[in-house]
Structure 1
Amino acid sequence: MPALVWFRQDLRLHDQPALVAAVAEGDVIPVYVLDDKGPGDWRIGGAQRWWLHHSLQALDRSLRDLGSRLILRRGPAATVLTDIADDCGAETIHAIRHYEPWWRQAEEALGDRLCLHEGNHLRPPESVRTGSGGQFRMFSAFYRALLAMLPPEAPSAAPKQLSAPGRWPKSDSLDDWALLPAKPNWAIGFEGWTPGEAGAAAAIDDFADAVADYDDARNLPSVEGTSRLSPHLHQGEISPRQVWQALNGRGKVVESFRRELAWRDFTAGLILALPDYAEKNGRSQFDRLKWRHAPSELKAWREGRTGYPIVDAGMRQLWATGWMHNRVRMITASFLVKHLLIDWREGERWFWDTLVDADYGNNSVNWQWVAGTGIDANMFGRIMAPLSQSAKFDAADYIREWVPELRDVPDAAIHDPEESGCLPANYPRKIIGHREARERALAAGRQVR
């Protein structure tokens, strides 16, 4: 009797409990369903589609090495999976549990036929509970509770062979899905990434050698001291348990990075408790805040033409590579919300479409944290100063890489060339002064209070 394995954001063979369970039952039919209807407005964006194409290619190659293959179908996930299971005579559909609201709806629709497994988090987010049995709303308390449940279970090995069914169900062609951009091909700069399980393994090997410097280097855009594991973790090409294990034996230097792994678990638990967190303010008083409708300024922010070099460098890096340095993500997000007083949801949607690692929980919780509108968030009155942040974290070389107009500006002036009298003719003046923007944001915040 064959069993289906429903792959989603868990595109790997190692530490894949759904696959292990299916192997124990006999013949295995791996399936990926591209469901653009279930997520509604949250269908995956362009950058994720580029990554997904290459990740599915890599997964199919790995499955074929084991005597299997990946079946591709498009449509409402529950309907498609039910049709395949009926056609093949499969009584069980194995899958790793997911926490996005559309996936939970699809899981419910599949009923008793679906067998869910844990595997995309350090611990199942719903198992980390408050004393009263609820989901944590504050990260610090969540983290203390999670630490008491760690280390996580050891990751499982990949199967050495898969038993194929006597008859394969029909499959779509990956190329027919048109996940890759064509005219124009805006993803040329994405070629520095290596999607897939092998790429994830190489990325964790590289990071393990550099993790000792993580706590300091992660804030330096010019050094690029972050792990760059986020898109691999988002697509599930490597599990958090694998990452945890790869960093064993390296002492306390790994603690700040492991805290970031815990943040992923926290955001999953938060969207479990508040499924519409990506659309509604975590603090209802911010429903009264009067955001500005400023299309030209939003466009300037998206294109990296604000006149603030660190902001523009980040936004151009994002468009060119599908990724942005973590420190710069905070700076650019704060600039949109506080300096321009534009609704955080505008930035959240742009990141959703342009980030290769755009995660429903992480993206929404991070934006609300920066905006000050979230349950566990910065105060709205905390306004990051992009000019001083740029100098503090030594972003000169980063700016030169992504804002070529400023390539010849000296270090002393590059963070604020307009103020220094070194503004090139082809680079814009500041869209708004820092002091003016700060006072406007503080006034808006006082109205909310």
Structure 2
Amino acid sequence: MKKHKFNLDPPKLLVLGFAAVILIGALLLTLPVATEDGKGLSFINALFTATSATCVTGLVVVDTGDTFTMFGELVILSLIQIGGLGFMTFATFLFLLLGKRISLKDRLLLKEAVNHLSIAGVVRLVKRILLFTALIEMAGGIILSIRFSLDMPIGKAIYYGFFHAISNFNNAGFDLMGNFQSLTSYVGDPTVVLTISALITLGGLGFLVMNDLYEYRETRRLSLHSKVVIYTTLMLTIGAAIFIFLFEFGNVKTIEPLSIQGKVLGSLFQAVTPRTAGANTLPIGDLTHSTLFLTIILMFIGAGSGSTAGGIKITTLAVLAAAVWTQIRGKEDVVLFRRKIVMETILKALTVTVIGLFIVVTVTMILSITDRGHNFIMYLFEATSAFGTVGLSMGLTPELSLMGRIIIILTMFAGRVGPLTIALAITMRRKRDAFHYPEGKIMIG
């Protein structure tokens, strides 16, 4: 009798892999040794924290610095690193250390995990990803350790420096400052603000862009993907910083009491962190509604594809914006940097955006039912933050009901794994139609 080999395609394996890492992390956080009170977290809170860490989100139901022992904090940090790199990238690292051969199936999984266009050169890319990650986190950790040593003992400063470097490069936003204050005490500190902003931005560019920049000295050219990511990142960051500066200039609860340097640094960091880090130097609950709405938009967009960040991705935004501009101008071809964008890419961008909007709208509606008594913008902010794996919160997260926490857990998971990956994982592979229907016309607008 012929045996059927159990086999899963790459999208399903990626989804199951992330789920397995989260479950292991949750079980570790329930251990008594993980928390300061020696009782461990309840399973739902442990699952929430493990999901937030693995999905590099940063939403927390308990304060990280006040609740966990060093063991618990290191579990969270490990989940952040695995989640940021992707569990397949991490597994490949272990295979390379053990000298094992990377099979064709593993290469296919890696291609999906790092959003590479083909399996050619994917192992070399993974090696560079590991190198880039180590160098950037090391540099950030050293700078932050030196700065924190002015405020705390050297051993604690080194631990804090590297924890926050790893957390922010992976766009997780977990912090050890205590009392849910994040980095608000460093709002006007250029060393902390600029270093962490650089870590967040580099993590959000994506490893493909980093690799392109690394090879630029030899190739003297950047791929279309890298150009779109870099230019869109600069436009969104600079534009958002200017608007936030204007929106908050007269807000006595945020930047109004600060020096001009503090105002600029506070505005810059608030423009960078929704892309999708979760750390904050300004109190989120005290921001003006204009800034909160702009932050929601930035959280939904996210950062670059193949990065440590979430959201629909800035390449998706760029493709859709180019398609709209093409229609307005009455042109046929959608063009970015003198390159035609194929219809499949446009439809994929539209699909990701619509699925993302559906998730955010649905989660916002459910939270308004399960956790009544808050302003509507708090539900929308929380839902978008979870979907974009950002981690910013107006204070709703610790107050969530059991059902609310479950909903946010599922939203963070969907946001990290990706709406399109989940859609592919639960549906059959696309098949070419055997026949075509006659064309029909519908009035639009």
TM-score (norm 2): 0.29
Which structure has more strand as a fraction of its residues? 1
Report which of the two structures shows the higher radius of gyration computed on alpha carbons: 1
Which structure has more helix as a fraction of its residues? 2
